[in-house]
Amino acid sequence: MSKEERQRAILRIIRERSVATQEELAGLLAEAGFDVAQATVSRDIRELRLVKVATEDGGYRYAEPPAGPAADALGRAQRTFREFVVDVAFSGNLLVVKTLPGSAQVVAAALDELRLEGVIGTVGGDDAILVVLADGRTEPPPGVASRVYRTFLEWRGVTP
């Protein structure tokens, strides 16, 4: 059976069942007639951009990322926020977005997809996302930050 058939089967399986591990998914694929190694399942999960989301019993399961055309990125982000975000706080140019356990990666991906002006980047953990905002500076502040910034630029081969 082809890769496309196998990946369609993976999507069908995770829609119909709560699958927590790659090993469990490989077993369900075997039951469906696909003889695959765990490494193949891992690649398929990465290619399908599957995410782990929290279940009501405190566990985790594989799920599809928010879907739809790129033009609907804002709608997906809003739905994702309504479903998973429990709090937002800020300090200076940093925002902390608290999510349900296991949901931060899904929310961070939705934020990244928006490419919001003023957002330098996001870092998603298990239940929290750090959103770094631009603060209007064109140069790093003096001190350690400036030295580290210039060092990183030099390592990239860029003249500060």
What is the reported pLDDT for 66?
62
CA angle 104, 105, 107 (to 5 degrees): 65
- pLDDT tens digits for range 51-98: 888 888 888 899 887 655 554 777 778 888 888 999 999 888 899 999
State the 10-residue block means of pLDDT for the chain, 160 residues long. 90 94 95 92 88 84 71 76 90 91 91 85 94 81 78 79
Q: What is residue 142's three-state secondary structure?
A: coil
In the chain, CATH 3.30.1360.40 sits at 66-160
Distance CA 105, CA 42 (A): 17
What is the reported pLDDT for 71?
47
CATH of 66-160, one of 3.30.1600.10, 3.40.50.720, 3.30.530.20, 3.30.1360.40: 3.30.1360.40
What is the reported pLDDT for 154?
83
What is the reported pLDDT for 67?
58
What is the dotted CATH code of the domain comprising 3-63? 1.10.10.10
pTM of the model: 0.50
